Structure 1
Amino acid sequence: MPAAPDFPPAPDAVRPVRALISLSDKSGLVEVAQALNDLGVELVSTGGTRASIEKAGLPVRDVADLTGFPEMMDGRVKTLHPVVHGGLLGVRNAPAHAEAMDQHSIGPIDIAWIDLYPFESTVESGAGFEACIENIDIGGPAMIRSAAKNHGHVAVCVDRDAMDQVIAALTADGATSLNLRKQLAARAFARTAAYDAAVSGWFAAQVEDAAPLRKSIAGTLAQTLRYGENPHQTGAFYRTADRRPGVANARQLQGKELGYNNIADADAACELVAEFAEPACVIVKHANPCGVAVGADLSSAYQRALACDAVSAFGGVVAVNRPLTESDARLITDIFTEVVIAPGADDAAMAVFAAKKNLRLLLTDGLPDPMQAGSVFRSVAGGFLVQSRDLARITPADLTIVTKRQPSDAEVRDMLFAFTVAKHVKSNAIVYAKDGQTAGIGAGQMNRRDSARIAAIRAREAGEAQGLPSLAEGSACASEAFFPFADGLLEAVAAGATSVIQPGGSIRDAEVIAAADDKGIAMAFTGARVFRH
């Protein structure tokens, strides 16, 4: 480990003489270059950036004038030179550094505005391997890190916002402060870390390494939250490079700022509603669906979903898988709803929602693909877990009927619908469903029997609210994991279920099958467990 050198304290105010600019995205370049020139700062640049500054009629020096070497190897080598990095890394008030800079004719670089080759967008565009490799920046990160390390003397900028802060400081005071340079350095190191994370993650995927020795997660701040899960916790929302349609990439048209729980619930609702091909509605409360239904149209689907558990739906999140119309909006706004998330909405629908100023309306311009591979992360003390996204999708061909009674076609449809919902319910999960509508949902219990009982209570109460018997009468019961004993299945039968779908695989499967045969119900095994913790 290198010992910390005994440098003099960094100056609070640095009056810049020279700025190095090297950009892939040249938005705002001329305005910034003009401002720096007006402030008496010499401009040094490379390639296309230098050409753009020259075209604007502003004085600029080519980096090659400083280094004495032209750009070479298709631009791969241009700034990797002692004159550049010495100008960035030299500690101005350290005698040995000052002597070396003078001896080797190294001029100080006081401002560095550098972005990076567009690696992330190149990958996102679907470019081939070689194109992605060529868009891995080498010189840019090296200069950013050099400038950030020497923040005592250098202001490093990795985006236009940072550059605007520097210009504002120079306009007001003629100098950058040490505090500002520290803030910019922290931002710069975060940018290079995120860039390296993108490159390493992409490369691991290219060599099909699902569990690389080191794994990084990078995000860009989307929103500082008022608080986290509870008011005494801090919270922030970050976007990753993943452009998957959903809450992270949605447009918020109205309403209060999203909170931590709103974001989590909206994500859960959007991911579930995307599972269905028919017009569908999902209502989520505290990360669990409380009502799910399909219908001939969204209005029908919403009414059926609401009927499953109108009590829990109050203050919930509504997700749909079709653009919203005025009639849909009027139904949804009949009760208090925190968030509505949809792939779109027409003008009339947006006008209806606008009358509910606190309701957050999110438009995703698409739906997440339930079969798109990806990773899911979860933090634990001292680390984090990574797993692939749950892509389980059960079809009639996947079912093994294990009982004497065969299910009807309608029961098979109900079983598959219920199992799809159960995949998105916190374990232990039991879901009763009939005719494309959940009848009762039991979530997050420590034993499966209690989940079956709670789901039955919800189904009975929903029926009573409509002047009907329990909605679970004649329903299919889905369990996201096997029944370890027959008791959970018997609770489902008592609730009115006539068919059951479960993964199977318990050492007591024979006992559970025998109980199903004794009660005359049909039961199918999926062979796939869909736990959600």
Structure 2
Amino acid sequence: MHDKIIIQRALISVSDKTGLLDLGRALAGHGVEILSTGGSAKTLRDAGIPVIEVADYTGVPEMLDGRVKTLVPKLHGGLLGRRDLPAHVAQMAQHGIPPIDLLVVNLYPFEQTVAKGAAFDECVENIDIGGPALIRAAAKNHDFVTVITDPAQYPDLTAALAAGGTTLTQRRHYAAAAYTRTATYDAAIATWFTARNGDADPDLRVTETVPPQTGEIFPARLAIAGLKHQALRYGENPHQIAAFYKTGDRPGVASARQLQGKELSYNNINDTDAAYECVAEFDRPCVVIVKHANPCGVATGVDLAQAWDRALACDPVSAFGGIIAVNRRLDAASAEKMASIFSEVIIAPDAEPEAIAVLARKKNLRLLIAGALPDSASDGLTFRSVAGGYLVQTRDSGRITRDDLKIVTQRAPSNAEFDDLLFAFRVAKHVKSNAIIYARAGATTGIGAGQMSRVDSSRIAVLKGGDSIAGSVVASDAFFPFADGLVAAIEAGATAVIQPGGSIRDAEVIAAADAAGIAMVFTGMRHFRH
């Protein structure tokens, strides 16, 4: 086995022509014989770079509209033949198969074709067959063959050519990248096809891991494809390493343009996602402030400026150093208000130039423009790692309307209370369990999150809200197992309660509500968030 391999013959077949001419000139300059297919060959030839058409080289013409052009023994034999095995060398000579030392392939743009909403048949035609086969062959024989699958690798390859060839370490690095590329490519195809298994309308657009209406949501083997979007300085803590991968184009932190500020951290991304998913739940102008993945203030208003004042009032202490999300184009007046405290990130679907100029004064603040809001009602899959595997579930897209509510107390809520109950329960979906949310007039007045006891969450929410709790409604993400949590809310001045119901002690809890003269409704749906 030779550590350094001199490249004498290369096979090039690329969909993405970025950097192709510079690479072709570098190869030609080092006396490398270039074999190439269709469009790649034309691009090189038009630039005056010597190239041999694959069809001329193999004696097998492209056929079936280009579906068959590289699936021939002369190419695969040239890539797979071991140069250290006499039998291989003899067979290659017997069948007129010269060795190929370099493969440069990038695949048909399947992911991009799906992402742009192309029709089913067009997506199918953009499933590359010959490319992955060539890549896998070259990567398998990396002792002797260099495989390049990304234009970003061209400068490194050019430097290796100037140094006399690629080393074994380099070829193994390229091979690992090659197998990763084919794996993610196949995973994207598998995800797309699985979502259409039995689908009556194959042209439905899918741009992320989305369960189908009639297909198989959880196949026996689950393929997950991600594209490295950002290397992060560290994970949740400085001793952890981390990276950010994109898996689709659902609007949010992954799709956002960062206009200013420091590099996003792992915790910034996690918290920003939590804030943006929450703010997308509401139709009226809304502001959500998140700290450590939990909302500490959520409010709607006639405009973002009013919503900001009301959200901040819920817990101004926790809001310091938090994440701000809005569901409207950010205006200058609201930006001025938000700039009055220290925040890590502001994310919005868009921002006025004047608002951008206001926030530019806060040099360390990250301003993200996502382009759109995520569809909070859409289905999709979420993932969480556990030892030895993943937990996979559909996104919590459940929504409760007034018609879904069951009034279980002697007093029914007023219209204003109904509105606040639905608002508070929608916020509860985004608060870590056990979650207790107090709200009044479309704004949170107290939030209790993440406690082992529901009564403790209720007391913490009261402690946070103080005097503002009186006259609020209260939402619980799950049923009250005992009346004590409800009693704490009653003592704080809550006037109406929304909860899933379903406890064996529901009657006891309802009786406590009736004794206090407050209204209670059951949703029949819970919103645990762990």
Which band: TM-score by shorter chain? over 0.9
Match of 2:116 in 1: 125
1:310-329 maps to which residues of 2 (within 5 A)? Answer: 310-329=316-335
Match of 2:203 in 1: none
Query: Could you tell me which of 220, 224, 228 is aligned with 2:235?
Result: 228
- Residue 501 (structure 1) shift: 0.5
- Residue 202 (structure 1) shift: 1.0
Match of 2:417 in 1: 411
Check if 1:493 corresponds to 2:500. Answer: no
Task: Give distance in 2, aligned partners of 1:393 and 1:222.
Answer: 32
Query: Could you tell me which of 180, 185, 194 is aligned with 1:190?
Result: 180
Q: Which moved more, 1:228-237 or 1:402-411?
A: 228-237
Q: Which moved more, 1:127-136 or 1:443-452?
A: 127-136
User: SS at 2:503's partner residue?
Assistant: coil
Match of 2:206 in 1: none
1:91-122 CA distance string (max 9 Å, x none):
22332222222121111111111111111122
Check if 1:99 corresponds to 2:90. Answer: yes
- Residue 346 (structure 1) shift: 2.0
Query: Could you tell me which of 507, 511, 516 is aligned with 1:510?
Result: 507
1:134-186 CA distance string (max 9 Å, x none):
22111110101111111122111111011221012213x13112222111111
1:300-311 maps to which residues of 2 (within 5 A)? Answer: 300-311=306-317
Q: Is the 8 A contact 2:5 2:167 kept in 1?
A: yes
User: SS at 1:113's partner residue?
Assistant: strand
Check if 1:524 corresponds to 2:521. Answer: yes
Query: Could you tell me which of 165, 169, 172 is aligned with 1:179?
Result: 169
User: SS at 1:514's partner residue?
Assistant: helix
- Residue 85 (structure 1) shift: 0.9
User: SS at 1:181's partner residue?
Assistant: helix
Match of 1:359 in 2: 365
Check if 1:157 corresponds to 2:163. Answer: no
Match of 1:58 in 2: 49
Task: Give distance in 2, aligned partners of 1:165 and 1:140.
Answer: 22
Check if 1:458 corresponds to 2:458. Answer: no
1:426-462 CA distance string (max 9 Å, x none):
01100000011100000011111111111010110xx
* Number of aligned residue pairs: 513
- Residue 29 (structure 1) shift: 2.2
User: SS at 1:245's partner residue?
Assistant: coil
Match of 2:159 in 1: 168
Match of 1:466 in 2: none
User: SS at 1:237's partner residue?
Assistant: strand
One-letter amino acid of the counterpart of residue 219, structure 1? G
Task: Give distance in 2, aligned partners of 1:348 and 1:274.
Answer: 24
Task: Give distance in 2, aligned partners of 1:141 and 1:163.
Answer: 19
Task: Give distance in 2, aligned partners of 1:236 and 1:256.
Answer: 16
Task: Give distance in 1, aligned partners of 2:334 and 2:282.
Answer: 18
1:126-145 maps to which residues of 2 (within 5 A)? Answer: 126-145=117-136
Report the TM-score when normalising by structure 2.
Answer: 0.95
1:1-20 maps to which residues of 2 (within 5 A)? Answer: 9=1, 11-20=2-11
Q: Is the 8 A contact 1:155 1:166 kept in 2?
A: no
Match of 1:333 in 2: 339
Query: Could you tell me which of 272, 277, 283 is aligned with 1:271?
Result: 277
Match of 2:202 in 1: none
Q: Is the 8 A contact 2:19 2:154 kept in 1?
A: no
Task: Give distance in 2, aligned partners of 1:291 and 1:93.
Answer: 68
Query: Could you tell me which of 428, 433, 439 is aligned with 1:433?
Result: 439
- Residue 416 (structure 1) shift: 0.6
Task: Give distance in 2, aligned partners of 1:338 and 1:122.
Answer: 35
1:19-38 maps to which residues of 2 (within 5 A)? Answer: 19-38=10-29
One-letter amino acid of the counterpart of residue 177, structure 1? T
Report the TM-score when normalising by structure 1.
Answer: 0.94
Match of 1:285 in 2: 291
Task: Give distance in 1, aligned partners of 2:388 and 2:24.
Answer: 45
Query: Could you tell me which of 93, 100, 103 is aligned with 1:109?
Result: 100
User: SS at 1:384's partner residue?
Assistant: strand
1:239-295 CA distance string (max 9 Å, x none):
11x101111111111111111111100000000001111111000000000000111
Query: Could you tell me which of 218, 230, 236 is aligned with 2:225?
Result: 218
Q: Is the 8 A contact 1:169 1:176 kept in 2?
A: yes
Query: Could you tell me which of 81, 88, 95 is aligned with 2:72?
Result: 81
Check if 1:244 corresponds to 2:244. Answer: no
Task: Give distance in 2, aligned partners of 1:331 and 1:473.
Answer: 27
User: SS at 1:13's partner residue?
Assistant: coil
1:167-222 CA distance string (max 9 Å, x none):
12213x13112222111111111100000111111111111101100002121112
Query: Could you tell me which of 462, 470, 473 is aligned with 1:473?
Result: 470
Task: Give distance in 2, aligned partners of 1:329 and 1:128.
Answer: 42
User: SS at 2:469's partner residue?
Assistant: coil
Task: Give distance in 1, aligned partners of 2:66 and 2:298.
Answer: 56
User: SS at 2:298's partner residue?
Assistant: strand
- Residue 129 (structure 1) shift: 2.7
Q: Is the 8 A contact 1:377 1:384 kept in 2?
A: yes
Task: Give distance in 1, aligned partners of 2:60 and 2:425.
Answer: 66
Check if 1:378 corresponds to 2:375. Answer: no
Task: Give distance in 2, aligned partners of 1:133 and 1:52.
Answer: 25
Match of 1:3 in 2: none
Gaps of 5+ in 1: 1-8, 461-469
Query: Could you tell me which of 24, 42, 49 is aligned with 2:40?
Result: 49
1:356-388 CA distance string (max 9 Å, x none):
211111110111111122110000000001111
Q: Is the 8 A contact 2:233 2:241 kept in 1?
A: yes
Match of 2:356 in 1: 350
Query: Could you tell me which of 478, 481, 484 is aligned with 1:484?
Result: 481
Q: Is the 8 A contact 1:113 1:163 kept in 2?
A: no
Q: Is the 8 A contact 2:321 2:344 kept in 1?
A: yes
- Residue 58 (structure 1) shift: 2.1
Q: Tell me how large the CA RMSD over aligned residues is.
A: 1.3
Q: Is the 8 A contact 1:326 1:348 kept in 2?
A: yes
Task: Give distance in 2, aligned partners of 1:220 and 1:133.
Answer: 21
